[in-house]
Amino acid sequence: MDLLPDLPDLPDRRAELPLDMPFTTARAAELGVRPRVLGQLVRAGLVRRVVEGVYVDAVVPDTTEVRARAVGLVIPRTAVVCDESAAWLHGVDVEPPQSHVVAPPVSVFQEPGRTRVRKSGCVGGERTLLPSDVMEVDGVRVLTPLRLACDLGRLRPRDQALGAMDALARAGGLDAADVVRETERFSGMRGVVQLRDLGPRVDARAESLPESWTRLRCQDGELPELTPQLEVRRAGAWGESAFLDLGNEELRFAVEYDGADWHTTDEQRARDGRRRGWLTREGGWGIVVLTRTHVPTLDRQLTIDVVRRGLDRHLAGRPVDP
């Protein structure tokens, strides 16, 4: 079956494009590939969009180098990439889910005195930065993970803020003390009260945004403290161990988040079942398993209520169900 009957020369048109580096819509047109054909290549899965107006061959891996080269094609060399766009260049994806369908604009700022960036696919402005706030990622000027953690920690909603801070700590080798030390320079600025509250809570052990959201919601709900990626060793000669997304060893209570990326295949579910089986049967653990349904973006109380109900059942000696 011909999936692209209206474009029989599709492979030849793809061959005219760069195969190992990002390219702009304008460059594609120079090579004879018009926007309509480029769009068909994207829909066919042969080319992917990196940022608005920049594409790359679909076989090229999604690396920080490729991301930086793509961004470098649409911003001035004097501009500094900020906010979620900068996190993305550090390999941290904190954009909303729809960003995978519609490429978000690149957030860039110029230092005071320079012309604001006004280009399609970019959101620009001015921001006062210290030299220590800026680094280069494959030739593109970008905020450091520490400055990013402080900015997103101040300026984003509470859950999203800590999720970004945890992820940047993991990617940038930061810890809570680093953020706390940096916080006072933002005294009097918008969002600093939230930054002061969230800074001490930063934990690089969190392995996903929903884990960070869940931990913070449990803290806000005054539930027992949960440690990210808590290791539990199995009794016996083999010394088998398991890591729990969030756990309290004293209470033998844990909360796990089963996201679509790692917990959907039969093999993944079987592995989860074996691990949770010996933890509950042999170790006496109570484990609440959450999914996206239990950790919605807006209803924070739902997550708290589900975890509290599971904890109450566990402490009463009953099976834990989400």
* Domains annotated on the chain, with CATH: 10-60 (no CATH), 67-201 (no CATH), 209-315 (3.40.960.10)
More reliable by pLDDT, 14 or 256: 256
How far is it, in rounded angstroms, from Cα 31 to Cα 49? 17
Which tokens is 303 given?
């997550």
8 has a pLDDT exceeding 60? no
pLDDT > 90: what percent of the chain? 68
Q: State residue 123's pLDDT score.
A: 79
pLDDT, mean of residues 161-187: 97
Q: State residue 114's pLDDT score.
A: 72
pLDDT, mean of residues 63-90: 92
Neighbouring residues of 212: CB distance < 8 A, sequence distance ≥ 6: 159, 162, 163, 165, 166, 167, 203, 206
Indicate the pTM of the whole model.
Answer: 0.86
Is residue 127 within 8 Å of residue 82, measured between CB atoms? yes
Phi, psi dihedral angles at 206 (to 5 degrees): -60, 135
Which tokens is 276 given?
């949770």
CA angle (253 as vertex; 252, 257 as ends), nearest 5: 140
Neighbouring residues of 241: CB distance < 8 A, sequence distance ≥ 6: 231, 232, 233, 234
267 confidence band (pLDDT: 50, 70, 90): confident
